[in-house]
Structure 1
Amino acid sequence: MRRRTVLRRLALAGTGIGLATGTTHGHPTPTGDGTAEPAAADTPTGGDPLGVLEMETVYEVVTSPDGHTAYVATGDGIALVDLVAPTSPRLIGRQTGLLAESDDGPIQRVQDLAVSGSRLLAAGPAHPADGAHGVVVFDVSDRQEPTRIAGLELDTRIHNCHFDGRYAYLTANNRDGNPLLVVDTETEQEVGEWSLLDAGDAWHDVPTSLWPLHDVWVQDDRAYLAYWDGGTWIVDVSDPTDISLVAKVRGRDPETLAAIEDPGTERSEPPGNDHFVTVDEGASLLGVGGESWDLGDDDSGGPSGIELYDISDPADAELLSTLDPPPTSDPSPGGILTTAHNFELTADRCYSAWYNGGVRVHDLTDPTAPDLAFEWRDTESTSFWTAQRAAGCFVAGSTNASQGTEVQPGLYTFPDPQIRTPTPEGSGTDDAADGTSLGVGGPGFGVGSAVAAVGLAAWRARRRRD
């Protein structure tokens, strides 16, 4: 057993927090005597949830800068959930009837949200649906009484979105070229677009079903775009009216994709399917999650994982490691889904959701060698859409939206596991011979969690500033 794993077990001893140990390639379950056995596909692993709030519908979940509130996309609108006591998540209120003033009626399927400071963006629908299409912005500085401050009806579905407090960055796959669409929410006007057609004419020859814009993340004037089999791209949005290409991180060339005989299978199985993309606080570490299944009898498909890249030089991105998906006995679309879905990179951690595969937290202190710090799954009862850090805990949304899944939707809170962080040279700390010390973590009670909450609020305020 590695020394860092021993230290982490000692740190958690007596706290009541379960811990799944091992690397990204193992999925052991702690037993009564402290040893580990392989986890069955339908067996809960790791520590138990701290709390559960059952809900009718759950899609995306984002958290407030102070980590005390979760905003949940509920299809018919949004819900606000109090996380001050992680063991008792509590519904504060709901906002429905978004764009109800439209001739087409309100948005019927809100699946994605984004938060920036005290402003919350809701967008939809993600898939073909009746009702209005567009975005709504709320002022959530008073979470008891959110106030709508902007709303704009659009002519496109919006699967995913991002927000910097003024500009909304949207996936506009109904439009020619599957572009990134930028909307100024202060003037309630569209101001810019960019698509792979701007990167090269050869994309005209590729079926657009192979390169939908599935996700967008924006930070420090750069947008990170997940273009499915078209790969992951970085563009400069410092001037949203004049978006320019920075670099292509990964993905096959258009000539290869144009020659594919079965686009339907190709877009559902590896190696493509760039589904979700995000970066850490310094935008030097990029995470790309794939979403895939197995459609045939040749075992060529299956679930995808999360790949981590060093993008300190975007033009020369370096693959550092891969977080493999949890095991599954049936990787078909209607089976036991354990492919990567949405996740967060922060504080040297990756908080990830894997549908029926549960939730995980990886220690990314060394991103070339991720260490599994926490794992929990209950295949029969949960299917997780996303995982996000909060104050003294992390939250995950369980959804019944995935194919073949019949679960009770809800918002789960989990203990935020301790990870190992570098010890500053000359600090005099001597708790580990390898120059590392145990980071703040645990179930979210006491001085340690208060310090963690303050730190969380500080970096989120910087990252999501208006």
Structure 2
Amino acid sequence: MDRRQFLRSIGVSAVAATTVSVAGSRPITAHPGPFEPLGRIDIDGAKEAVVSADGQTVFVAATSGYAVVDIAAPDHPELLAERRDPLSDREDGPFRGIYDVKLDGDTLLVVGPANPIPGAPAGVLVVDVSDPATPEEIAFHETEFPIHNCFAADGRAYLTANDGDRNPLVVLDTDTGDELGRWSVVSADDRWADVPASVRSVHDVWVREGVAHVALWDAGTWLVDLSDPASPSVLGSVSPGDPEELSGLGARDRRREGRTPPGNHHYVATDDSGDLLGVGIESWAVEVERDDGTTDLVGGPSGVELWDVSDPATPERLSTIEPPASPDPTVGGVWTTAHNFDFRDDRLYTSWYRGGVKRHDVSDPTDPVELAWWRDPERASFWTARYAYPFADEGVFVASSWGVGDASPALYTFPDHAGDQRDPPTLGPETTTESLVNTPTPTPTETTAPEAGGESSESTSTTDAPGFGLGVGAAALGVAGWLARRHRRRD
């Protein structure tokens, strides 16, 4: 019996005393009090987390590297391995800006940088994690574009390739690094070529049975058959936006459009059947000045939409899980908008930054039922929530937090049962933002002052807002300039 089996057997024995049987039904476990985390482990720079097939190992993107955590004993998560500053031996190393990792069997893909970093390598680090405690880096496939997010399946890497032009989804052979194909919304409809690239960034991708579900910010979500990556074909789209309207936006309007609903398709995933699609929409509020000189907030945090995509050509929206209200829904305020999530059976596990993590019953996706909600807005800002594995008579899910202020980034483990948090903290001053959620953006001018030179232009802020893709993270450098520098260095 190995250590994990031993710990699990102890866990089963420990809960046996609290398990009662009811005639004609399966055993019922008495839950040990209020809903709260089982365990927590600090991981500097924690961003995305993914879980092994057996559910007992978590791999965490950690900005300057990646970490491997054993959660076989969920109340005592243990760091198995931590790799910082990979590729430090390269002239342009180390590899950094790592926001995403994905698993394909025993192969871990570590991608980056999430946004352009001058002089740093960009690409896919391929890691053998058949022994999670001793990950072996076996290849690095360099790319000409930053990689904010990716997906791994069947020996292929699906990469968000925001190049500032066509912003394609690129498919690589994981073993060889050869490009197998690419798809861009511009290929599907050339009117998108006139839309600023920052408004139609390819932000994330979910692949199931050869179908890529591609989140394209204000261009919506597109379902693309990539079973033959060299010959992609569009199956359908969800809320694709109007390219003619978007192409006419000025720089300031583009910035506002990229932060406020509608649009802002950030993360997508399907349930086990592939017929239920979740679309996470990441948005904020912006302050605008009206004609009478007063200011107002428009926009606000958004939630997770549930769509029936059993017929991809005619998707049907079934419901929306609304976000927690924020006392200050601006980019500089308290973020409670949707971030990454996970389906398992009839459950949906969601993250809402400082709004916490939630667990929903989506057996009837037209009427999702909230089963649990936990938040600690002064310490935790959750990046993702993922189902892990059944432990004893219930299960475990995990959630990564990128921290708040001086509070450390961390990986949390949670019990997979319904319950209420004891004395839940407020998210801030007792003010409401319900009226701000999904409010259409009016036409008045945003109060942000014009930049030097008197011309309105894209903000050069380096605010670390992950959903903005190139709109914020790359603004100070510019994609074209970044690519030119890379070409000169390689030449």
TM-score by length of 1: 0.78
Q: Secondary structure at the match of 2:219?
A: coil
1:411 correspondence with 2:427: no
- 1:377 match: 375
Moved more, 332-341 or 94-103: 94-103
Distance 2:418 2:106 in 1: 29
Identity %: 47
In structure 2, which of residues 222, 230, 246 is the aligned counterpart of residue 257 of structure 1?
246
Distance 1:260 1:250 in 2: 19
In structure 2, which of residues 319, 323, 326 is the aligned counterpart of residue 325 of structure 1?
323
Opposite residue 213 of structure 2, the aligned amino acid is: Y
The answer on whether the counterparts of 1:120 and 1:139 sit within 8 Å (CA) in structure 2 is: yes
The answer on whether the counterparts of 2:43 and 2:67 sit within 8 Å (CA) in structure 1 is: no
- 1:203 match: 192
- 1:104 match: 92
Distance 1:138 1:348 in 2: 32
The aligned runs of 1:342-357 (5 Å cut-off) are 342-357=340-355
Distance 1:17 1:314 in 2: 43
Opposite residue 326 of structure 2, the aligned amino acid is: T
1:14 CA displacement: 4.1
Distance 2:407 2:185 in 1: 38
Moved more, 251-260 or 261-270: 251-260
1:225 correspondence with 2:214: yes
The aligned runs of 1:424-463 (5 Å cut-off) are none
Distance 2:33 2:185 in 1: 46
1:406 CA displacement: 4.5
Distance 2:28 2:400 in 1: 25
Distance 2:90 2:169 in 1: 24
1:397 correspondence with 2:400: yes
The aligned runs of 1:293-304 (5 Å cut-off) are 293-296=284-287, 297-304=295-302
In structure 1, which of residues 188, 195, 214 is the aligned counterpart of residue 203 of structure 2?
214
The aligned runs of 1:189-200 (5 Å cut-off) are 189-200=178-189
In structure 1, which of residues 341, 358, 364 is the aligned counterpart of residue 356 of structure 2?
358
Opposite residue 386 of structure 1, the aligned amino acid is: T
1:62 correspondence with 2:59: no
Opposite residue 221 of structure 1, the aligned amino acid is: G
Q: Secondary structure at the match of 2:191?
A: helix
- 2:444 match: none
1:82 correspondence with 2:82: no
In structure 2, which of residues 124, 134, 142 is the aligned counterpart of residue 153 of structure 1?
142
1:15 CA displacement: 1.5
Distance 2:100 2:135 in 1: 17
Q: Secondary structure at the match of 1:396?
A: strand
Q: Larger radius of gyration, structure 1 or 2?
A: 2
- 1:22 match: none
Q: Secondary structure at the match of 1:319?
A: strand
1:329 CA displacement: 0.6
1:331 CA displacement: 0.3
Opposite residue 352 of structure 2, the aligned amino acid is: W
Distance 1:231 1:276 in 2: 11
Change (3 A) 1:361 1:368: same
1:125 correspondence with 2:116: no
The answer on whether the counterparts of 1:309 and 1:317 sit within 8 Å (CA) in structure 2 is: yes
Opposite residue 227 of structure 1, the aligned amino acid is: L
In structure 2, which of residues 337, 340, 343 is the aligned counterpart of residue 339 of structure 1?
337
1:405 CA displacement: 4.7
- 2:274 match: 283
Distance 1:100 1:322 in 2: 45
In structure 2, which of residues 233, 252, 255 is the aligned counterpart of residue 244 of structure 1?
233
Opposite residue 248 of structure 2, the aligned amino acid is: A
Q: Secondary structure at the match of 2:296?
A: coil
The answer on whether the counterparts of 1:78 and 1:96 sit within 8 Å (CA) in structure 2 is: yes
The answer on whether the counterparts of 2:81 and 2:135 sit within 8 Å (CA) in structure 1 is: no
1:188 correspondence with 2:177: yes
Which blocks of at least 5 consecutive residues in structure 2 are unaligned? 1-26, 288-294, 390-394, 420-491
In structure 1, which of residues 29, 37, 49 is the aligned counterpart of residue 37 of structure 2?
49
The answer on whether the counterparts of 1:168 and 1:185 sit within 8 Å (CA) in structure 2 is: yes
Cα deviations by residue, 1:365-400 (Å, 9 ceiling, x for unpaired): 111110001100111111000000112211000103
Change (3 A) 1:417 1:257: same
Distance 1:272 1:102 in 2: 40
4+ residue segments displaced more than 2 Å: 11-14, 95-103, 404-407
Q: Secondary structure at the match of 1:92?
A: strand
Q: Secondary structure at the match of 1:275?
A: strand
Cα deviations by residue, 1:396-426 (Å, 9 ceiling, x for unpaired): 00103xxx8553211111110159xxxxxxx
Opposite residue 48 of structure 1, the aligned amino acid is: E
Which blocks of at least 5 consecutive residues in structure 1 are unaligned? 1-10, 19-46, 420-466
The aligned runs of 1:174-185 (5 Å cut-off) are 174=163, 176-185=165-174
1:16 correspondence with 2:26: no
Distance 2:349 2:33 in 1: 17
Q: Secondary structure at the match of 2:259?
A: coil
Change (3 A) 1:418 1:380: closer
1:13 CA displacement: 8.3
- Measured on the aligned residues, the alpha-carbon RMSD in Å equals 1.7
1:109 CA displacement: 1.2
Opposite residue 264 of structure 1, the aligned amino acid is: R
Opposite residue 93 of structure 1, the aligned amino acid is: A
1:98 CA displacement: 2.9
TM-score by length of 2: 0.75
Opposite residue 352 of structure 1, the aligned amino acid is: T
Distance 1:314 1:102 in 2: 45
Aligned length in residues: 378
Q: Secondary structure at the match of 2:245?
A: helix
Opposite residue 258 of structure 2, the aligned amino acid is: R
Opposite residue 138 of structure 1, the aligned amino acid is: V
Cα deviations by residue, 1:179-237 (Å, 9 ceiling, x for unpaired): 00111111122221111110111112111111000001111001010000011001111
